[in-house]
Structure 1
């Protein structure tokens, strides 16, 4: 069976709950929280007043007046603490329950295996199905990539069934799929570094430009309606077997001025490394290198149209 799973220990969940949870999140994040329900999740971002992102996340429902945010574990504390500065004015609370695990499932046969385990499947990208102690979200359009969130305190049977039904694989295989899909992530070293458009989030439904005000909205909307992002997210490959750190600068034609930044990077299975890079559009016809290195990067567009504010 071509179906795989991996625990994603580099990911975690924050939970926001209470009578004002929806209103609070609606005023803080780029996605329309009103569209999140037991059948639909939404990707989004949390920005500072200058429009720079504290975090990217996937937001989903965990029941009445309760939401889960899946985000990278290395930015969870910063994100929680920043939310906490404002949530005190709302009838809502934020917490991190270590009992919840984040797992990835993928492969041509993953859907049929998960149907048996969960009893139902999402029917579209970011669609959800849930049950006692779990939530399953479809990540891609084709229905071959899923994330499964399980409360291990009550979902131990599901975790055991998953391990016996799918083949365990390294989490790096899942991360490689996300890089190849052109989905950039905020890491600890790039917190408050990027505008959402720089990571193509306006092209990937992370931003709802009609939802109204949220923190950073003025800057993000101005770029959408009155300007154009000078940088976009691309896929790059290097012959260096040691992946560059997120935040590493990129130069053009061995110049001293940075024209781009490494967003995420991973060792490639066939040697070298593969990465997502935010690069100035006017530098794409030049020889791009990681700052201080001689190897020229091979840069290609992500597998979706790079249209202005699509």
Structure 2
């Protein structure tokens, strides 16, 4: 039986949305359905510009009556909170930064569970995350006064490695407005509802889905080189312009796992390299999920 290890994700924060209109307000602004959000599951969601570009990605769940919490990378929190607050207007919803009240942990070796399912223990929630086969992951959010999860700790690099190998990437400061949701496989991972009403960028996101115009996708690679989020990737067949960008990365045992958004055409011939056409070679790895063909 695999031991569950944990890591305090100090680079994550929490936004609180509270009030009678909290769910309907978030439903109108984010890529997922919050009107039908129950207490036994969470929502992966994105916040887009009017042009469909992701400003932030997050996980949301019901914490209490008329209260929804959103966990997201701290480097995008302040701008997200400010921009969301601009649209509250007359809605009965108060948005605030609740990061000082909650501790966010990543769990590796968590029991297998359907992604975004949620287990509660009082005010503590544990949310199953997408994972590569045999490497269960979860997000645990708890009041800061609650003791840390029992058991051994894991390293930040092991956590980042597992996330990249899971084919998942969060919008970070370096990648704000870099992606339409489908470019990082966000809809495949459960981050977009195509049945809900309008939200900023909805027309662009829907057009990418149904008109077969998507030319870029997130792919998983390994390399011996170092990588940073936001770093460009180049193809040997077209060395003068970038073929993609690193969206997530983690290093383990001298190898770097990379989740990179890549031009689909660049996967058909030649090789991919980090930073320049002469940089470290990226070796493709299988995604742990299927990408549906474009119609």
| TM-score under structure 2 length normalisation | 0.91
Q: Say whether 1:57 aligns with 2:41.
A: no
Give the C-alpha shift of residue 105 in structure 1. 2.0
Aligned partners of 1:286, 1:89: CA distance in 2, in Å?
55
For 1:137-189, what per-residue CA distance to the aligned partner results, in whole angstroms no more than 9, with x for missing partners? 12247793221111124x3xxx15x2xx3111213222221111101111101
Q: Which of 264, 285, 292 does residue 300 from structure 1 map onto?
A: 285
Q: Equivalent residue for 1:105?
A: 107
Alpha-carbon distance, 1:245 to partner = 2.2
Structure 1 residue 259 corresponds to structure 2 residue 243: yes
The equivalent of 1:86 in structure 2 is: 87
- 1:230-283, Cα deviation, whole Å (9 max, x unpaired): 00101122221x3x222222221161111111111222x121322111111111
User: Which of residues 265, 268, 272 is equivalent to 1:282?
Assistant: 265
1:213 deviates by: 0.7
8 Å CA contact 1:250–1:260 kept in 2: the answer is yes
Q: Give the corresponding residue for 1:152.
A: 144
3-state DSSP of counterpart to 1:62: strand
Q: 1:83 to 1:227 in 2, by over 3 A?
A: same
Partner of 1:115: none
Output the CA distance in 2 between the equivalents of 1:187 and 1:21: 25
SS in 1 for 2:104: strand
Q: Deviations over 1:83-118 (max 9, x none)?
A: 1111233211111121200012232xx44xxxxxxx
Decide whether the 8 Å contact of 2:101 with 2:144 is kept in 1.
yes
Equivalent position of 1:206 in the other structure? 191
Matches within 5 A, 1:5-84: 5-84=6-85
Q: RMSD across aligned C-alpha pairs, in angstroms?
A: 2.1
Q: Hey, what does 2:256 align to over in structure 1?
A: 273
Cross-structure match for 2:129:
139
Kindly indicate whether the alpha-carbon contact (under 8 Å) linking 2:170 and 2:247 is maintained by their aligned counterparts in 1: yes
Equivalent residues of 2:13, 2:104 under 8 A apart:
yes
Shift of 1:13: 1.1
2:248 aligns to what SS in structure 1? strand
Give the secondary structure class of the aligned counterpart of 1:202: coil
Which one has a larger percent strand, Structure 1 or Structure 2? 2
> For structure 1, which segment, 97-106 or 130-139, has the greater mean C-alpha deviation from structure 2 after superposition?
130-139
Select which of 179, 204, 209 maps to 1:224: 209
Which TM-score applies when normalising by structure 1?
Answer: 0.87
Contact 1:228 1:308 in 2 (8 A): no
Corresponding residue number in structure 2 for 1:118: none
- Secondary structure, counterpart of 1:186 in structure 2: coil
Aligned length, in residue pairs: 288
Give the stretch that moved more between structures: 138-147 or 65-74: 138-147
- 2: CA distance between counterparts of 1:87 and 1:167? 42
